[in-house]
Amino acid sequence: MNGPARTQHPPVRAAHLGLGAFHRAHQAWYTQQANDQARAEEGWGIAAFTGRTPEAAALLSRNDGVYTVLERSAEGDRVTTVQSIVRAVPGADERSWFDTIADPEVRVLTVTVTEAAYSANSSVPGRIAAALAGRAAVGAGPIAVVSCDNLPRNGRMLRDAVLTAAGAEAARVSDVASFVDTVVDRITPSVTAEDVAVVRDITGYDDPAAVVTEPFSEWVLAGEFPGGAPDWAQAGARFVADVGPYEERKLYLLNAGHSFLAAAGRLSGYETIAEAFDDADLRADTEALWAAQRTAVDLPAAELDAWLDDLRIRFANPRIAHRLDQIRRDSPIKVALRLVAPLRRRREAGTAVDVAQLHAVETWIRSLIELDPTDAATAALARTISAAPAADRARTIIDHLTPEGTLA
């Protein structure tokens, strides 16, 4: 039997750029929860566009955009049918992209394009700027642009990049678009044949578009939605005045732990977060890193304690194969934000550099040199840093690694 059938037909009121597994397990999933609680005419359908490659659009389009989310925990599996994506479109279809963003019924644009797409060399900000300028030209009304990538003040960073790319159209783009800061969190590993088989066993149908994720999810948002938005709070999203403390919590604890274990775990021969975290020595190193990094997070101690308790369960989840090589992709940008930034904050505050933080940076440098690179940017940095004397490498990274993942 083929995949799940569509029973809801919400109108397209939102767009998304960066159609991948994370979007399907997170923003589209939240939108589905909101639609399930709304009247049919109040639902929000998503026109989702791929970024780099068209495969995800082709996969989803074969089943009318409907797919299965498989939540895997130590206690068992749970499946949910998601049908909030009503159009899955290859990113190369520029006409559809411009028409969608210019549609006055479309009030929200969410974005998951990875940290690298915010750099000066990326074409993504220009792609968004051109579409927003087109929206302004036809008087389609305001739209909220919601960044869902792991960057500090991601909405503001996207706003700056888009307005720079807009050039002479910047004022018009700024008039039509609000930019929303967010913190997003849900581990979404690559889907395996075993995962697809589990979906088949539970549901009775084949769903090659299925995504696998953990039960935990988080979405914290700060910003204006002048044209409205789905009622994401129905699924637990939080709307706050400032996402800063929440993004620091995620970057400095979860993401930093991932980056450290991706380096240390692969150097030790492990393949997944759960395997690496099960190593007593690596777990102790991770706990020491968390103890140092949490001092940079401005949230109550009790809240951090509870969040770390959840994090330990998530890292140890044996049913989520979060692959270390997946985390290692684009690692220079990630490490700059997750490990180097809080370390520099300690130094600038006159506090001694913590041994665990330094060890994490040194372990990552060793992984650059000893492991095969996952991408061109990592390979380039590996060549540069390996040419430096071993005793100078950590200091070079701490002093000169830019937020874009290059050496200044």
Q: Across the chain, which distance is largest between two alpha carbons, in Å?
A: 64
CA distance 269 to 275: 10
In the block, residue with structure tokens 């109040």: 42
Q: Per residue in 152-175, pLDDT tens? A: 899 999 999 999 999 999 999 999
333 closest CA partner among 153, 189, 118, 185:
118
Please give the model's pTM, rounded to 2 decimal places.
Answer: 0.86
CA distance 375 to 377: 6
Domains of the chain: 12-239 (3.40.50.720), 244-400 (1.10.1040.10)
pLDDT at position 46? 98
In the block, residue with structure tokens 């490498």: 393
Task: Identify the band that residue 3 occupies on the pLDDT scale cut at 50, 70 and 90.
Answer: confident
Provide the 3-class DSSP secondary structure of residue 250: helix
Cβ–Cβ under 8 Å, residues 220 and 238 = yes
The CA-CA-CA angle for residues 338, 129, 150, to 5°, reads 15
In the block, residue with structure tokens 């949230």: 299
Across residues 366-376, what is the average pLDDT? Answer: 95
